[in-house]
Chains A and B, each alone.
Chain A
Amino acid sequence: MLYDNYAMLAKRELLIRLVKILIHEKLVEDIKKIPVEMRPREKRNIDCCVHKDRYIIKHKIISILGFDIKDEDIDLISLDTYAQRSLDNKNVKESILSVVHEACSACMQSQYFITNMCRGCEGRPCLMNCPKGAVSFKQGKAIITQEDCVSCGICQKVCPYHAIIYTPVPCEEACPVKAITKNSDGTENINKDKCIYCGRCMQACPYGAIMERSKIVDIHKMASRPGVKIVAIVAPAIFGQFDATPGQIITAMKRIGFDEVVEVALGAEDTARHESAELVERINKGDAFMTSSCCPAYTEWVEKHAPAFKPYVSHTKSPMVYTARRVKEGNPDAQVVFVGPCLAKRHEADSVPEVDYVMSFEEVGAFLAAYKVDVRECEESLPDPEVTNFGRGFAQSGGVKEAVAHATGEIYSSMCIDGLTKQNIAILKSMIKKPQAQFVEVMACPGGCINGPSSLAPLSLARKNLKQAL
């Protein structure tokens, strides 16, 4: 879930400053000024000193530009060299997500911990109820021997003074598939064989230490190249991001350099149509149920963690793919940029030839701010009359379900898995033995795409904005 916090604002400021120098053709020249401008001497330092703060910003910049930071090179190579390299397109084998080790505070291993609220009461239920004998008393206060503790949490539940707290590792806690774990030095590492690119760790880290790679440099390069037609295909969730009309948002996208803006809602209607036909066919052939396939974090989860689920996943392509195809059919040379709130789409797009780049809503925000485009002041563009609310409805959980139900004449039972949380994963897995509905929509983000990891607006506001657009 997205909450305002300073780490998030720092990431946005970083993007805004990068885009500013990018559009003024001063990337190489001015990039080294960013850490100093963002962490001037007179500002309160966040880490131990202003130098460490600037060093962290440098690392975050390198990570945004798409370079892996693996060795000591980073201290030998200056930011302007990295900037030049990204302009020259030399960051091809980058990872989608990386942990900026300098920023990771190597949070304490998660543990139960007895605070000084402990009164050493006569009852001592912590001592009596710990199944592992990990609680003992020293000078009248309870302590936990960490080697014996199995983190069952019983002591916390039974303490009448709420004296026992649980200190989590936020990113590990957020990850639904245990893909992020500690290195021997305490910093975090993402296991690519397990990661489903849901992006939850990125939102959860209070140090903003987990960064997604960005294609802003390439996108800007394409947008400014004469003769190249660059088309933004925007996910319907974009209408939840701003307090403005869909027509104004489409205009705003054009102001930041796109020649044309096409709604992914259009492709969503294709998805709904194909998926409905597939559902009818599969049920007729005797299948118990079928799940949606438009959320790439979900399909990645099936691929990496639940292969037994594969036969149940629809083969229909995602709205992004259909929309990109429509654009490329009309204009094979166009550069297609998918614009959305989703980290997993970056991964999906890597294997879809029709999509050239992916841009996040946060990056859109940075371009709008840098170009000084006020969305609410933009004039109305005429939205595509072919788009219906069923297509735009894909932005929220329940939307795919509704569109498919509509297209199949509401004859099949359906349900929605709203978020790949640990609980919902258990429900999903139980379905192979005990199906609960014939059509199952699965969204990795609770609430659906409007709650995606790279959103600008918090969920409640996004819901409100989207409602006005529908």
Chain B
Amino acid sequence: MEKISLKICTGTMCYVMGGAELRAMLELLPDDFMKRLSVSYSPCMGLCGDVGEPPYIQVNGKTISGVSKSNLMQILKEALNDAV
């Protein structure tokens, strides 16, 4: 099965504007969920020039803004469903 690539921005703007806990949140995901993700971290993705809507992540290369602890799970679920 193709893995979903998840890239989390750990740049300061994203970190300060609500993304601080996204990394820690992944540790809470169930193992079979994590198995299907390939997670990477990126320094500033360059999307926050005019502040914009941080925090940013990329799922399979697609940029998603305004990620929070509450919608991260939903975003990942949708990506997994699209993949099957």
Contact = CB atoms under 8 A, between A and B. Distances in A.
A372 B49 CA distance: 9
B43 A456 contact: no
A375 to B, nearest CB: 6
A365 B11 CA distance: 11
Given A243-B23, A374-B43, A374-B44, A9 B17 contact: yes
Interface stretch (A10-18, A263-271, A393-401, A440-448): A10-18
Given A4-B68, A17-B51, A373 B17 contact: no
Interface in B1-36: 10-13, 15-18, 20-21, 23-24
A227 B41 CA distance: 39
A366 interface: yes
A410 interface: no
Interface string A1-41: 00010000100110011000000000000000000010000
A33 to B, nearest CB: 11
B16 A456 contact: yes
A369 B11 CA distance: 8
Contacts of A368: 12, 16
A243 B16 contact: no
Contact of B51 (A13, A376, A456, A460): A13
Contact of B12 (A373, A458, A461): A373
A310 interface: no
Given A13-B51, A17-B51, A369-B12, A461 B44 contact: no
A376 B12 CA distance: 9
A4 B15 CA distance: 12
Interface residues of B, number: 19
The A interface is mostly helix, strand or loop, or mixed, namely helix
B53 to A, nearest CB: 10
A457 interface: yes
Interface in A275-302: none
Nearest to B19: A4
**Shortest beta-carbon contacts, A-B, top 10:** A365-B16, A368-B12, A369-B13, A374-B43, A369-B12, A377-B43, A374-B11, A457-B20, A369-B16, A374-B44
Given A369-B48, A372-B12, 17 more contacts: A4-B21, A16-B13, A16-B16, A37-B51, A242-B15, A362-B16, A369-B16, A372-B11, A372-B13, A372-B44, A373-B12, A375-B12, A457-B20, A458-B20, A458-B21, A460-B24, A461-B21
